[in-house]
Structure 1
């Protein structure tokens, strides 16, 4: 696993700080723009920068989801598999992909993602009360 080095690390962290401020002020699109700029700073292959790349893409997806732009969230959900090579695979990526495809109305694909996430996490990914609707889909016939 690699870690970002200065000066890239400094610029990356500065963009995250600015993004957090924009998010806190309700400027979600500006927040996303700064997060996407931070993504462009990560050298290839981005996945070796496990923590930075995974959490960044997760935040981008979450922010697009807040503003109900699930088409853009899906583009980033597809990219999440390019992140976090050294992370323990507990189904987080599939759970995120499942949530996005669920919100897009592609329930069969969502169910497939949730099944993978459920197996990898041994059910832990469905622990939040917000996850009940996803668990209901997974358990449906």
Structure 2
């Protein structure tokens, strides 16, 4: 796992903290804008910086869900596969992509992503009550 150079890490953390403040104040667009700025600080290949890249993209997607901006969530769901190269693969990326596809009405793609996530996680990906609608869809 690679670590950010100290000067990049410092800038990265400042921007993340600003984004968190914007998020707490329900300034979701500004929060996403700052997260995108932080994304640009991560050197390529971004997946070598596993913790920073994965959590940053996940936070953008989660914020897009709050805003019901599934088109932007899709843009970032495509990028999630460029993150977290050394993370244990329990289907989280596929589950996120499945949720995005579901919300965009691309049910065939959603079902395939959910199948992969379900296999990798041995069903644990659907564990949260907030995922009940996705589980119901997957089982149908």
TM-score (norm 2): 0.99
Unaligned runs of 5+ in 2: none
The C-alpha deviation readout for 1:84-126, integer Å capped at 9, x for no partner, is: 0000000000000000111111111101100000000001110
**Which residue of structure 2 aligns with residue 113 of structure 1?**
113
* Distance across 2 between alignment mates of 1:34 and 1:139: 38
Q: CA deviation at 1:58?
A: 0.3
Q: CA deviation at 1:134?
A: 0.6
Q: CA deviation at 1:12?
A: 0.3
The C-alpha deviation readout for 1:45-65, integer Å capped at 9, x for no partner, is: 000000100000000011111
**Which residue of structure 2 aligns with residue 98 of structure 1?**
98
**Which residue of structure 1 aligns with residue 85 of structure 2?**
85
SS at match of 2:55: helix
* Distance across 2 between alignment mates of 1:122 and 1:43: 33
**Which residue of structure 1 aligns with residue 65 of structure 2?**
65
1:9-28 correspondence runs (5 A)? 9-28=9-28
**Which residue of structure 2 aligns with residue 76 of structure 1?**
76
SS at match of 2:85: coil
Over 3 Å off, 4+ runs: none
Q: CA deviation at 1:3?
A: 1.1
Unaligned runs of 5+ in 1: none
How many residue pairs are counted as aligned between the two chains? 140
* Distance across 1 between alignment mates of 2:35 and 2:63: 10
Do structure 1's residue 41 and structure 2's residue 41 form an aligned pair?
A: yes
* Distance across 2 between alignment mates of 1:65 and 1:130: 13
**Which residue of structure 2 aligns with residue 4 of structure 1?**
4
* Cα RMSD after superposing both structures: 0.5
* Distance across 1 between alignment mates of 2:124 and 2:136: 15
